[in-house]
Amino acid sequence: MATSDAQPTALTGIGVSPGLVAGPVARMAPGIPEPAIETLPADTDLDAECDRIAAAAQTVKKGLELSAAEAKGDGRTLLETTAQMAADPTLTTSAQAKVRERRLVPARAVWEAAGTLADMLKSLGGYMAERTRDVADVRDRIIAVLTDSPMPGIPRLPEPFVLVAKDLAPADTALLNPEKVVAFITSEGGPTSHTAILARALGMPAIVGTGEQVTDRLSDGDIVLVDGTKGSITLNPSEEALRRARELASRVRVFNGDGATRDGHEVQLLANVGDAAGARSAAEAGAMGVGLFRTEFCFLDQPEEPTIEAQVEAYRGVLEAFPGKKVVVRTLDAGADKPLPFLTDSTEANPALGVRAYRTARRDPEVLEHQLQALAKAEAVTSAKVWVMAPMISTADEAKAFTDQARAHGLKIAGMMIEVPSAALMADKMFEHADFASIGTNDLTQYVMAADRLLSSLAYLSTGWQPAVLRLIKAACDGAAPHGRPVGVCGEAAADPALAVVLVGLGVASLSMTARALPDVDAVLKSVDLADCRRLAQIAIDSRTAEDARAAVRAELPVLEELGL
């Protein structure tokens, strides 16, 4: 990689996915603006203009097919569907009619034709309504060809690059190919948004919320060093910094399924999964089980409640990846940033504080009933040990109602998530009913700091290092101890190797994370004794601020520097 003579420049953002990599910048082209209503001059060859539209649609179709052939999984399906849309004559014929009948310039004709098509699909509802996103994508691509503008979406380049964008839509994130995109930097976005979670799942270093003043300084081809742990970007890094990044990238750590501190205190290191494929790769990565199966991820795009049979299939796929092992299944966590069309009321003013997660069972009790039935059936045909829990339990009555209901379905181990501060503070009462709890630090932080987890402007509040969050985690563990119940953590805090040490010191028995984080967390835990964990936990909860807690604990863990964490 060639470096320029320019001096290194340090820039910062919020590091949301760890790792140190370097590469040339490739900026994501901005969206296509609406073309003005313009008509063609009287002497224009209208047939030739119509041919240009057809040719542009063909170019887009071929480009998408090529990208689809290179992509994997969800990304491939998404690209294939969009390519089909580009090949569909409805859009081109309708745009050509507007050129012939109203003498509209081709770009404007395509824009209007796409608008009519999208309205028609929207009125059909369900699956068809979801295709409006593909129409907009194809429209923008055809217009880009017609107007000779940069193609929107993730750039296609022969060499690996660092993607720089304003923000990434979930669909963009599904298309990120880790072999091509080595890291990404966005000017918007928060630390616990699902884009950030996906970056960690892909093992792709990522920095979000830099503000435009940072991304505006990065031009195509600039060499940058991205440190996703620290949230730092170095423009024009030194040769020495690049050498260290290469050396760290060449070291591969593995996890052997034996999570414990140096002095042998067992800490179960588990995986967060969303489907069977994720569960299989987590098992390959050595995960000791599943600590969070986000069941709603199986059904995010479904307009109707899935049938019991479809649910049994989805759950069985995950359970089968972990024969004889623990799989913690969370019931549907619908609402706020993960709406499910069949459960969520989209008209609420404050969805994060609304009828979401377990609360939906009051309005639609049959959906939870069906899910528990399906889960019991899936458990019966596999050997995995199912632990079931509900998200957003807020009162002891809810803990009792849910665990009673789960046990009535034959699910023997029933517990709850602790994501609402009341649940942590009332833990002693909660554990009169719950067999276990798993702390969702993403939501717990959001609710105790009153800071929307998706907002980059509030990222300084949205961190599990907040002493207030840590004190609540301690309260949860202290409430569980007299009952002898295990408490785990399955929020993003569990994947931060330094914070993991603190959590173990607070009394947490298991840590569940994206499978990619297992080797790092394991390596750091194996460098400390339980007594060290307890001492560092005390330092963290006695700290004045999140930054103080993080700095004080990291200073006591020299292994982090050695491992490049």
Contact 360, 334 (CB under 8 A): yes
- Measure Cα distances from 187 to 164, 214, 389 in Å: 8, 7, 36
Shortest gap between Cβ of 441 and ligand PEP (angstroms)?
Answer: 5
Tokens of 173: 């994130």
Number of residues counted as binding Mg ion (CB under 5 A): 3
Looking only at residues 383 through 442 of this chain, which bind ligand PEP when binding is defined by CB under 6 A? 419, 440-442
**443 binding Mg ion? (CB under 5 A):** yes
- CA 231: distance to chain centroid? 17
Q: How far apart are CA 334 and CA 262, in angstroms?
A: 40
Q: How far apart are CA 204 and CA 523, in angstroms?
A: 19
Nearer to Mg ion, 63 or 440 (CB): 440
Shortest gap between Cβ of 391 and Mg ion (angstroms)?
Answer: 6
Nearer to ligand PEP, 55 or 425 (CB): 425
283 Cβ neighbours under 8 A, 6+ residues apart: 321, 322
- Determine how β-strand 437-439 pairs with β-strand 510-513: unpaired
Q: How far apart are CA 468 and CA 421, in angstroms?
A: 10
Nearer to ligand PEP, 231 or 464 (CB): 464
Nearer to ligand PEP, 63 or 289 (CB): 289
Catalytic annotation, pick one of 50, 194, 298, 533: 194
Catalytic annotation, pick one of 50, 477, 490, 533: 490
Handedness of CA 388, 394, 400, 404 (dihedral sign): negative
Shortest gap between Cβ of 447 and ligand PEP (angstroms)?
Answer: 9
Shortest gap between Cβ of 83 and Mg ion (angstroms)?
Answer: 35
Nearer to ligand PEP, 96 or 193 (CB): 193
* Contact map string, positions 11 to 50, toward Mg ion, x by CB under 5 A: ----------------------------------------
Looking only at residues 332 through 391 of this chain, which bind ligand PEP when binding is defined by CB under 6 A? 333
| Catalytic (active site) residue 477 | no
Q: Contacting Mg ion (CB under 5 A), which of 23, 106, 440, 505?
A: 440
**193 binding ligand PEP? (CB under 6 A):** no
287 Cβ neighbours under 8 A, 6+ residues apart: 255, 257, 269, 270, 271, 322, 515, 518
**296 binding Mg ion? (CB under 5 A):** no
Instruction: Please name the helix (run of DSSP H) or strand (run of DSSP E) that holds residue 116, with its range, or none.
Output: helix 106-124
Nearer to ligand PEP, 229 or 512 (CB): 512
**294 binding ligand PEP? (CB under 6 A):** yes
| Catalytic (active site) residue 194 | yes
Number of residues counted as binding ligand PEP (CB under 6 A): 10
556 Cβ neighbours under 8 A, 6+ residues apart: 532, 536, 539
Instruction: Please name the helix (run of DSSP H) or strand (run of DSSP E) that holds residue 272, with its range, or none.
Output: strand 268-273
Residues that bind ligand PEP (CB under 6 A): 292, 294, 333, 419, 440-443, 490-491
Residues involved in catalysis = 194, 490
Residues that bind Mg ion (CB under 5 A): 419, 440, 443
